[in-house]
Structure 1
Amino acid sequence: MPWKETTTMEQKIEFICEWRTGKYTITELCRTFEISRPTAYKLISRFENQGFEGLKKHSRAPGKHPNATKENIVESILKLKKKYKLWGAKKIRELLFKEFTSQEVPSVVTVHNILKRNGLVCPQKRMRRVKPVHPIFDPKSCNEVWSADYKGKFLMGNKIYCHPLTIADSRSRFLFTAKGHYKENLKSAKAEFKRVFRIYGIPKQIHTDNGSPFGSVRAIQRFTQLSYWFIELGIAPVFSDPASPQQNGRHERMHRDLKAACAKPSAFDLKAQQRRLNHFVKEYNNIRPHEALGMKTPADIHDFSTRAFPERIPNFDYDTKYKVLKVTESGAIRWKSYYWVYVSAALKGKYAAIENLGNGIWKVFYRNVLLGYFDEKHLRNKQQSTRLETNLV
């Protein structure tokens, strides 16, 4: 018959049980269980103070670590997390430099572990890895390219949709506005662009998607009435490829933060919702560190534009080599009295210019922007109009 194996805990319990009988001395018990007298007295002391729980193996880790994060720093980390619930360890750590010295501020991993120990880290869904797409328009200076878009609509508490218009500088990520509208239309967008232009000046380009009122895949060069207004101000409208929001990823990433901060949950009405949007803009620009900016804020990087907004559209004089024609109410220009070349309904009442390239091929311009080409050989039917082509075949 094999010997019965016993665990250390079972031997401790057996030792205490034998000691409690009072039949044996400490010397006899130590000899039987092959332990020293200090060990025996330690087990008896633990049993008397904590019961059988005190016999369990204690951790040998020191109660206090010399490199442990100071209590006041831990309190600041938890306080900042409570205030900025959607921020991670990197951004919270950056704000600690305003209160403590660089030697006192713990690492990102330490900040993350402190948040995790206090149950303030939400497990994130593992994202499928995709090939990184770099932005088509990657400006090197402020006000070179601005981005604009309508963030996806969401219901407010009064069951009415809010459509936030956002405008930001693509270099500094400075968010000029997040304006809530009831509808995505030209009038609302143009009014907000005017307000922003008057405060911050105008950029060289504005990057948008192809949705109304910014662009139209059916229109020549995708230009809309808003696009032509930009051209008149000296701003070049540029567009992402259709169904390719990743080409303006930095703006879409900002939209994700805006949605989390302002739409989950949303406010009751547009007035209350606008207060939330304004608070987000202020925090995003002045407080929230941005990793792509070296953990600086957009306000630290951004400079005002040196190009002022003209209250009146400046006149434009075409070169004498061009032939200037007026766009009719139908959006077409009249060619040789009875032929028609369709340009765009958004240009009705304005003046376009054409330039002869030879062999019956003509270039069509609006101000200094090329719209397309037409071939006068195709002008056969006097009752129909010819559309412009963006490329010559």
Structure 2
Amino acid sequence: MPWKESTTMEQKIEFICEWRTGNHTITELCRSFEISRPTAYKIIARFEEEGYEGLRELSRKPRGTHPNATDEMVVGGILLLKEKHKLWGAKKIHKLLYNDFSEEKIPTVLTVHNILKKHGLVSPQKRLRRVKPIHPIFDPKLCNEVWSADYKGKFLMGNKIYCHPLTIADSKSRFVFTAKGHYKENLASAKAEFTKVFRKYGIPQQIHTDNGSPFGSVAAIQRFTRLSYWFIELGIMPVYSDPSHPEQNGRHERMHRDLKAACAKPSAHDLKAQQRRLNSFVKEYNHVRPHEALEMQTPASVHEFSTRPFPEKIVRFDYDSELKVLKVTRNGSVRWGSYNWVYVSASLQGKHIGALEMGNGIWRIFYRNVFLGFLATIYHLGQAKLRSNLI
């Protein structure tokens, strides 16, 4: 066992004094000082050879220069890269060393980490409580199968006005299409930015978001909003994380953490300056920063443009003849029969839905080719009720 905490030198001197009296055996002394017998004999041997000076702790520092020590030029390059990219870790800096040094001079990732740690450039990480992992809803195999979008949490700029950054990224390649700062999180702002991205990069098969406005609403049928129905009209299926489970879109949330550290701590003075900072982050994230999930490649080197172009004009949709076509009024309802009204969704006002009879008063309701829910025409006091497909 180790020596007790009160100075080690004092403990050793006391041990030698007790040993020199001859009143105690080595076993008794070891038990009293809580040390092992090899340690006791080692202390006695040092005392007999060098006296009390031999009891001092010997330096553990290696003598001379280690033959495998990292070249000073490489160490300087590591520190220079860390100064330029303060938020990056050893793995990403190690990858960039290959741009400036030959392979035989570049140390391992662990050595890069130790060099950064030695110079006080590694922030200690908090230990997180282990929890049962929740598997992501989607695991795309190709680019443009699923895109992720969200409004990263608002933050105050220097002029005391909030900035709400809208981010859109490909879930497979992690390529960030945009990080656009808005004053508000609303339909008009989001739709305008999605249009710009769609025109440049094409459209995906699905868009994965949370349930916040303007993307989704837990109170609406299938959580669809006006933005969701616009996606459907473009041929994109909106999909959502479960309520209160942002970790199901963990890839996007992880990118948001990097964006916040780079752009919001501290923030810029106004939206124009903040947008320049957001643009700089997107450029570095896509084209410079190696990504561990991509085998240390950059998102830009992995991403492929979508083969589905953005339709500038919404194509008219014709329901099959076996479906009953109903127009949603301004208050979100449809007329059912001569006297009854059924509320569907205010987000569908002015649009047409299709109803397919299943028998026994049950109808399946569609918007275009997307299933919305069941309509149970159970009349009670002259009213028909729309039942969710979850029931």
For Structure 1 versus Structure 2, the TM-score category normalised by the shorter chain is: 0.7 to 0.9
Quote the sequence identity (%).
Answer: 68
Shift of 1:11: 7.0
Give 1:150's aligned residue: 151
Judged with a 3 Å threshold, the aligned counterparts in structure 2 of structure 1 residues 183 and 242 are, in CA distance, closer, same or farther, namely same
Partner of 1:313: 314
Tell me the SS of whatever aligns to 1:250.
Answer: helix
Residues 1-393 of structure 1 aligned to structure 2 (within 5 Å): 8=50, 61-376=62-377, 378-382=378-382, 386-391=385-390
CA distance 1:11–1:294, shift in 2 (3 Å): closer
Distance 2:344 2:201 in 1: 33
Q: Which amino acid in 2 is paired with 1:131?
A: K
CA contact (8 A) 1:342 1:388 kept: no
Question: Quick one: structure 1 residues 226 and 87, their matched pair in 2 at CA, closer, same or farther if it must change by over 3 Å?
Answer: same
Quote the offset at 1:6 in angstroms.
8.2
C-alpha separation between the residues in 2 aligned to 1:156 and 1:385?
51
1:358-391, Cα deviation, whole Å (9 max, x unpaired): 1111111100001111121x23334x56234224
SS for the counterpart of 2:92 is helix
Q: Distance in 1 between matches of 2:299 and 2:366?
A: 37
Q: CA deviation at 1:9?
A: 8.0
Q: Is contact 2:221-2:372 (8 Å) kept?
A: yes
Moved more, 303-312 or 333-342: 333-342
CA distance, structure 1, for counterparts of residue 95 and residue 135 of structure 2: 26
Partner secondary structure for residue 357 of structure 2: strand
Unaligned runs of 5+ in 2: 1-16, 22-46
Query: 1:126 and 1:9 mapped to 2: Cα distance?
Result: 46
Q: Secondary structure at the match of 1:103?
A: helix
Q: Secondary structure at the match of 1:306?
A: coil
The offset of 1:230, in angstroms, is: 0.2
Are the counterparts in 1 of residues 376 and 386 from structure 2 also a CA contact under 8 Å? no
How far is 1:7 from its partner? 8.2
TM normalised by structure 2 equals 0.84
User: For 2:135 and 2:363, how far apart are their aligned partners in 1?
Assistant: 36
**Hey, what's the Cα distance between the residues in 2 that align with 1:236 and 1:309?**
14
Which runs of 4 or more aligned residues in structure 1 lie more than 4 Å from their structure 2 counterparts after TM superposition? 9-12, 56-60
C-alpha separation in 2, matches of 1:248 and 1:199 = 24
Using the size of structure 1 for normalisation, the TM-score is: 0.84
Residues 335-380 of structure 1 deviation map (CA, whole Å, 9 limit, x = unaligned): 112111111111111111111111111111100001111121x233
Read off the aligned partner of 1:182 and give its amino acid letter: Y
What does the per-residue CA deviation read over 1:90-129, in whole Å, with 9 as the maximum and x for residues that have no partner? 1100111122232221001110111111111122222222
1:136 shift after superposition: 0.8
Which consecutive residues of structure 1, in runs of 5 or more, have no partner in the other structure? 13-55
Relative to structure 1, the CA distance from residue 67 to residue 363 in structure 2 (aligned partners, 3 Å threshold; closer, same or farther) is: same
Q: Which amino acid aligns with 1:264?
A: K
Once the two structures are superposed, residues 40-87 of structure 1 have per-residue CA deviations (whole angstroms, 9 ceiling, x without a partner) of xxxxxxxxxxxxxxxx97878443222111111111100000000011
| Bigger shift: residues 109-118 or 62-71 | 62-71
Aligned residues of 2:180 and 2:278 also touching (Cα < 8 A) = yes
Matches of 1:60 and 1:120, distance apart in 2 = 22
What do you get for the CA RMSD once the two structures are aligned? 2.2
